[in-house]
Structures are given as C-alpha cells and as structure tokens.
C-alpha cells in the first residue's frame, strides 16, 4: 500500500457528486486522490456502446486520453428478467430529461403488468483505463425482485422498487452502509480493489 506521501491521482469519469464522494472515501486509504470529470471540466461522452462494459470503457478511455491519468468510470443499470433485461444500459434514459425516476419506476411496473416473474438484478461494471492503453473491467451484480409500490425514501434511481434476495427491505429502506455491503457497485469496487491493491 502506498504511503500518503506517495498519493497517486486518478480521475473518476463522472459528474455525479454522490458517486464522487463515495469513491473518494473508499479509495483514499489506498493512497488514491480522486479528481472528478466535473472538477476537470471534461465533457460527458455519448454512451454509444451496447453493453455495460462498452459504455464504462468508452467513458474511462475518453477521460484518460484527455488527462493522461489513470481513469475509472462505471456503467450500471437495472435488468429485469421478464423484460428481457430492460431497461439495462438504458436505465437512466427510461427516466427521461429531466431525470424522473418516478416515471422510470412506473414504466417498469407498467411493462411487467401481472407477470409472476419479478426477478431483477442491478449490474455495475467499472472500467479502469491507463495511459498505456490498457483497460480492466470489474463487474458486480446483485439479484433481487421488483416490489410495488415503491418503498423507502433513501437511495436513488430504482432503489425504492428493488428488494435484494434474502431481504425484506428495498435498497431505499437501508442505510448507505447496508446498501453498499450488498450493492452491485460495492461488489464491482471490491473486485477492483482486490485486483489493483491486492487487498
């Protein structure tokens, strides 16, 4: 592990303040100082790929080329089995502009209708791009089910309608620490930390 005097600066290719705060706290013990795309005034590239891996890599590589620093980006979403994996990589787009996840959650419920299969999973893929051109991918998933009506007032996105397997609460009814212990992003981050820092 690096000492604090040997801090390395990485870029998080995100303009999401909550995500930046969370990752800064997680990576600081490993000697990583995190700068955000917003802080560096980097544009958000259009997500044109057809997979979580592709979109995460696209964002990480664009930031890496612009800064010459190690960059990480994630792409995540909700995949509902009975909807053939939708909304998937289009999870944010289902919320429209401006983002309205009440509308997105209602659309999931409407499209599920009376389907008995309400199995779903949250997926997160983190891409870590280095100036030498290499890109590593780390994937995390959590399986659960769609519940209705929405429950809880914590979290964000589709959290109020997602109940992880083995739980009786939605992600929105959990503390941030409880959610992170189970979440797709937490699992992808843990995989990255194990591989990159041998932690």
DSSP string, 140-160: EEEEEEE-SS---SSS-TTGG
Q: Residues, the chain, total?
A: 199
Residue 30 sits in a domain whose CATH number is 3.90.950.10
Sequential DSSP letters for 21-76: HHHHHHHGGGTEEEEETTTTTPPPPP---SSHHHHHHHHHHHHHHHHSSEEEEEEE
pLDDT at 13: 95
Residue 86 structure tokens? 């939708």
Catalytically annotated residues:
75
Task: State the total domains in the chain.
Answer: 1
Query: By residue range, what is the domain housing residue 153?
Result: 4-197
Cβ neighbours of 28 (radius 10 Å): 13
Q: Are strands 32-36 and 8-12 parallel, antiparallel or unpaired?
A: parallel
pLDDT at 199: 65
Mean pLDDT split into 10-residue runs, the chain, 199 residues:
62 86 88 93 90 96 96 96 97 91 97 96 97 97 98 93 98 92 92 90
Cβ neighbours of 49 (radius 10 Å): 15
Question: How does pLDDT run across 116-134, given as a tens digit for each residue?
Answer: 999 999 999 999 999 999 9
Helix (H) or strand (E) holding 37: none
Helix (H) or strand (E) holding 6: none
135-146: strand order across its sheet: 32-36, 8-12, 70-80, 119-129, 135-146, 162-164
**Residue 43: which residues within 8 A CB-CB, separation 6 or more?**
none
pTM: 0.90
């Amino acid at each position: 592990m690096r000492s604090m005097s040997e801090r390395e600066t990485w870029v998080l290719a995100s303009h999401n303040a909550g995500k930046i705060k969370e990752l800064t706290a997680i990576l600081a013990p490993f000697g990583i100082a995190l700068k955000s795309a917003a802080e560096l005034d980097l544009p958000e590239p259009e997500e044109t790929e057809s997979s979580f891996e592709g979109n995460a890599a696209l964002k990480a590589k664009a930031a890496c080329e612009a800064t010459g620093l190690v960059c990480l980006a994630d792409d995540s979403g909700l995949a509902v089995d009975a909807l053939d994996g939708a909304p998937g990589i289009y999870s944010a787009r289902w919320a429209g502009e401006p983002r309205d996840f009440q509308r997105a959650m209602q659309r999931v419920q409407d499209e599920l209708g009376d389907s008995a299969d309400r199995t779903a999973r949250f997926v997160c893929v983190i891409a870590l791009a280095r100036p030498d051109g290499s890109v590593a991918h780390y994937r995390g998933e959590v399986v659960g089910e769609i519940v209705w009506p929405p429950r809880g007032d914590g979290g964000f996105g589709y959290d109020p309608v997602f109940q992880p397997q083995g739980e009786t609460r939605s992600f929105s009814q959990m503390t941030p620490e409880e959610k992170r212990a189970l979440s797709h992003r937490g699992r992808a981050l843990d995989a990255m930390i194990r591989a990159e820092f041998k932690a």
